A and B are shown apart, each in its own frame.
Chain A
Amino acid sequence: MSTQQKPDPNRDAPILWARNLVKRFGRVTAIDHCDFELYPGEILAVIGDNGAGKSTLIKALSGAVSPDEGEIHLDGRKVQFSSPLDARKHGIETVYQTLAMSPALSIADNMFMGRELRKPGFAGTWLRKLDHARMAQIAREKLTELGIMTIQNINQPVETLSGGQRQGVAVARAAAFGSKVVIMDEPTAALGVKESRKVLELIQEVRDRGIPIILISHNMPHVFEVADRVHVHRLGRRLCVIDPRQHSMSDAVAYMTGAKVPDEAPAEVAEPA
């Protein structure tokens, strides 16, 4: 195995880790004996070329795909997710690239989709009445905490929001319910410069609140701006984990494209392939 690890003795135990994950689709091996660690309170970026298998790795961690081999441990316990819902119940929230929101429904409706709060007492128990007021209040609090209250009306439909605001709501939803880990898949891919900036702030805000984040992104400047560590994925497995403060973006691109091998001392910068 060419996987190079940099164990940090000062760290706590990883909150989420995986060993020897394998996933095959027919004759294609999408992840090939891959290891993975996420430590408490960090932003871990996962980068890799198209087809490197990073999205399959993320799907395995978020429950969308079940690995053929290997094991995943969350918070010191071995876990096996049968679905994204299952992973969610364990405290892993995913912000999908598509955001997974219902455009015609309100912000509050979307934030509580699938985990609505019912009114206490007779109305809630027997008439199954939702507590719209409380859900709106919590939604507003969550958005305010993350500093995205440029949204005036929590009951306005999501489709009336800008792309950045929608992303903000999706992040707020994940942060509100993701008790252990938040996974973000290309959160800035569809956004403009200003909105990306806002979302990057949000990601750091969530991290500062103590929730570790797995960030999947193709955008190197964004990765290097917010990540504490960068997991470089290549040919179905982890090639190395680099510290963005000690490596350049060119290094990262060189590693992930195979132009450079991380075992060598990263003194000189190789040309990206």
Chain B
Amino acid sequence: MTTRHTTAEEYERDLTGAPSSQAEFEERRSPIQRVQHLLHTTPSLVPLFVLLVSVAGFGLLVGANFFSAFALTLILKQVAVTGIVGAAQSLVILTAGIELSVGAIMVISTVIMGQFTFTYGIPAPLSVLAGLGFGALIGFINGNLVARVKLPPFIVTLGMWQIVLAANYLYSGNETIGSDQITTSAPTLQVFGGTMQIGGAVLSYGAIMMVVLVLVLAYVLRHTAWGRHVYAVGDDPAAAELAGVKVKRVLVSVYTLSGLICAIGGWVLIGRIGAISPNSGQFENINSITATVIGGISLFGGRGSILGMMFGALIVGVFTLGLNMYGTDPQWTYLLIGMLIILAVAVDQWIRKVAA
């Protein structure tokens, strides 16, 4: 390597004496370091592993019933909304932000879909579009407040959560639109409540929507420039900017897309519960953060995979159904989920040490 320089300049003669082996990448890995490195490159492995172990564990605990196609697809159905809203949450958290208004955006979107259809008599498909557009609009506002006004995401979305939730009650007059009414005059709103039967498995369209959405986002994050930019912005926004990423534009697009996905979550929610209630989905902001964190997406941004988030949502679903079938106090679910959250963040910190 040092013999490359053939120019006869004085200083280069010294270079031949310098050792050529600097900055080598040392191969000295114990098995634990190998695991650490593998997790570093494939962060969704941890939640996948936990998911498989918990399915097996509850299978042993509850018995064969738990392994039935019906039970397993029931879990999918139950986590569909959390999974979709969690996808929105994951995008924001990947940029080192947090989105506390996801649940509120979801609910107000359902209310808009319902009110537009039943109060204004707008055809249901158009009302759905209006709801989706409104979700995206709130996300767009959040994104601009974060990226251009430079307010902390926590504060922006905390404020937006209150604003949107209050607007939701004021606008709807705290009125629920009944399931029967929707079924008879606007079935489009409930389309995600539909199911398809494959053997004993009952797949709801909402669950299929969640899986498809997560797979599409996984593709976009991994295989498009925009996806790589989302990671770069979450990792180090200053470095990303200098490297040529339009950081503000990426942030605004992430929050806008997140708002849109929340509204899709709202549409799925109508299918799930049948009715449209301004009181529904109160805990989806916390649920989505839980799924994201258990799924191994780092709250510090730039790390993790959206598939992990889906596994995280499924883990919560498995615990909920498993403990329910086992017949314990549901508080055990919260207790165990709480422990999982802390454990997941501890694992994240450990994986990050690979960098040091």
Contact = CB atoms under 8 A, between A and B. Distances in A.
Contacts of B25: 150-152, 160-162, 165
Given A103-B355, A113-B232, A198-B23, A98 B239 contact: yes
B244 A103 contact: no
A100 B239 contact: yes
A102 interface: yes
B236 A201 contact: no
B58 interface: no
Give the 7 A-B residue pairs with the shortest CB-CB distance, closest first: A114-B244, A100-B242, A164-B23, A159-B355, A194-B22, A102-B235, A116-B225
B15 A130 contact: no
Interface stretch (A31-39, A104-112, A258-266): A104-112
Contacts of A151: 25
A198 B12 CA distance: 12
A226 interface: yes
Interface in B240-277: 240, 242-245
30 contacts: A96-B242, A98-B238, A99-B239, A101-B236, A103-B235, A104-B303, A105-B231, A105-B232, A105-B235, A105-B302, A113-B229, A113-B244, A113-B245, A114-B243, A128-B223, A128-B226, A129-B224, A130-B223, A160-B355, A162-B25, A165-B23, A168-B23, A194-B18, A195-B22, A197-B15, A198-B23, A201-B5, A204-B12, A205-B4, A224-B11
Interface of B: 1-2, 4-5, 7, 11-12, 15, 18-19, 21-25, 37, 40-41, 219-220, 223-226, 228-229, 231-232, 235-236, 238-240, 242-245, 302-303, 354-355
A223 B24 CA distance: 25
A140 interface: no
A43 to B, nearest CB: 11
A175 B4 CA distance: 18
A104 B243 contact: no
A227 to B, nearest CB: 10
With most chain A CB atoms within 10 A of its CB, the pick from B15, B18, B21, B225 is B225
Contacts of A102: 231-232, 235-236, 239-240, 243, 302
Contact of A147 (B1, B11, B236, B302): B1
Contacts of B18: 194, 197
A118 interface: yes
A118 B235 CA distance: 23
A115 B229 CA distance: 11
Contacts of A224: 11
A85 interface: yes
A87 B225 CA distance: 21
Interface string A116-137: 1010000000011110100000
A33 B21 CA distance: 46
Contacts of B220: 128
A204 B236 CA distance: 30
A118 B23 CA distance: 32
Interface in A186-203: 194-195, 197-198, 201
Given A150-B24, A165-B25, A194-B19, 4 more contacts: A88-B244, A129-B224, A162-B23, A198-B23
With most chain B CB atoms within 10 A of its CB, the pick from A101, A151, A165 is A101
A12 interface: no
A129 B223 contact: yes
Nearest to A94: B242
Given A100-B239, A168-B23, A130 B224 contact: yes
A103 B12 CA distance: 33
A225 interface: yes
A61 to B, nearest CB: 15
Given A103-B355, A129-B224, A113 B11 contact: no
A155 B274 CA distance: 47
Contact of A85 (B23, B231, B244): B244
A157 B15 CA distance: 30
A41 interface: no
B299 to A, nearest CB: 14
Contacts of B243: 100-102, 110, 113-114
B23 A130 contact: no
A74 to B, nearest CB: 19
A104 B15 CA distance: 33
B239 to A, nearest CB: 4
A84 interface: yes
A104 B223 contact: no
